[in-house]
């Protein structure tokens, strides 16, 4: 039964964008109901909440329907203050680093779709998406740790990075992440010590 006093989150077990919101809700200790959907099948409830038919879509206790994971994070920060650092410059830098991690996720999704979901994949587009993934990883490896980790705890950017790396290991396993990106793997290892992170690992 739906609890009208809690959030409702439409998600796919395979969606890294939905996972970043699941993690945020759990970290903030906000009650929510998971509504797992198959995004490749029509779902009237999801379409009623989001005409794009995409996840994540968050229904709030006061009747809002929010979609796009970045916007949902902004809403959760407005409600709780628990997503971004308080200082203006620190907040800006962590948000930008989180956007970099989200871009890595998007490029990984695009690579997977191009190589696995098209009858005739385009080698040109596949190469472009792959190079974007590699170039982004290299930039993230050079990013100062303070944007990923503060006072021994992962920032929102750090959690987004960990989500991105989990998804990368599934979709592009030949990247040899531990060999080429030791600083990122260190952060990923830290995330894997968290019960919520383990609980939300994608089920493929």
3-state secondary structure the chain: CCCCCCEEEEECCCCHHHHHHHHHHHHCCCCEEEEECCCCCCCHHHHHHCCCCCCCEEECCCCCEEECHHHHHHHHHHHHCCCCCCCHHHHHHHHHHHHHHHHHHHHHHHHHHHHHCCCCCCHHHHHHHHHHHHHHHHHHHHCCHHHCEECCEECHHHHHHHHHHHHHHHHCHHHCHHHHCHHHHHHHHHHCCCHHHHHCCCCC
The model carries a pTM of 0.94
- Residues 150-166: tens digit of each pLDDT: 999 999 999 999 999 99
Does domain 7-80 correspond to CATH entry 3.30.70.580? Answer: no
Residue ranges of the chain that CATH labels 3.40.30.10:
7-80
How far apart CA 14 and CA 37 sit, in angstroms, is 10
Residue 204 reports pLDDT greater than 70: no
Delimit the CATH 1.20.1050.10 region(s) of the chain. 88-199
Whether 16 and 202 have beta carbons less than 8 Å apart is answered as: yes
User: Which tokens in the block code for residue 70?
Assistant: 């970045």
Report the pLDDT value the prediction gives residue 203, as an integer from 0 to 100: 74
Per-residue pLDDT, averaged over 51-58, amounts to: 96
b/e map of 138-176 (b: 16 or more CB within 10 Å)? eebeebeeebbbeeeebbbbbbbbbbbbbbbeebbeebe
Closest CA to 59 of 99, 30, 39: 30
In sequence order, the 6+-apart residues with CB closer than 8 A to the CB of 155 are 85, 94, 97, 98, 147, 148, 149
pLDDT tier at 183, thresholds 50, 70, 90: very high
At residue 4, the pLDDT reads 54
Domain 88-199 sits in CATH at 1.20.1050.10
- Residues forming beta bridges with residue 32, ordered by sequence position: 7
pLDDT for 2 equals: 45
What are the tens digits of pLDDT across the range 100-127?
999 999 999 999 999 998 889 999 999 9
Mean of the per-residue pLDDT values of the chain: 94
Mean pLDDT of 49-64: 96
Alpha carbon distance 186, 86 (integer Å)? 25
């Amino acid at each position: 039964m739906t609890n009208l006093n809690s959030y409702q989150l439409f998600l796919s077990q395979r969606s890294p964008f939905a996972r970043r919101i699941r993690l945020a809700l759990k970290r903030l200790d906000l009650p929510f109901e998971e509504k797992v959907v198959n995004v490749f099948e029509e779902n009237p409830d999801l379409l009623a909440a989001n005409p794009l038919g995409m996840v994540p879509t968050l229904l709030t206790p006061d009747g809002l329907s929010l979609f796009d994971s970045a916007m949902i994070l902004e809403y959760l920060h407005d409600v709780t203050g628990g997503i971004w650092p308080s200082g203006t410059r620190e907040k800006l830098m962590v948000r930008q680093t989180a956007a970099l991690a989200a871009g890595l996720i998007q490029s990984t999704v695009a690579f997977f779709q191009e190589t696995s979901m098209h009858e005739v994949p385009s080698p040109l587009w596949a190469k472009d998406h792959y190079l974007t993934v590699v170039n982004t990883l290299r930039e993230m490896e050079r990013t100062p740790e303070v944007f990923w980790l503060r006072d021994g705890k992962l920032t929102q950017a750090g959690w987004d990075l960990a989500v991105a790396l989990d998804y990368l290991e599934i979709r592009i396993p030949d990247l040899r992440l531990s060999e080429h990106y030791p600083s990122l793997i260190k952060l990923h290892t830290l995330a894997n010590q968290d019960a919520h992170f383990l609980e939300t690992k994608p089920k493929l």
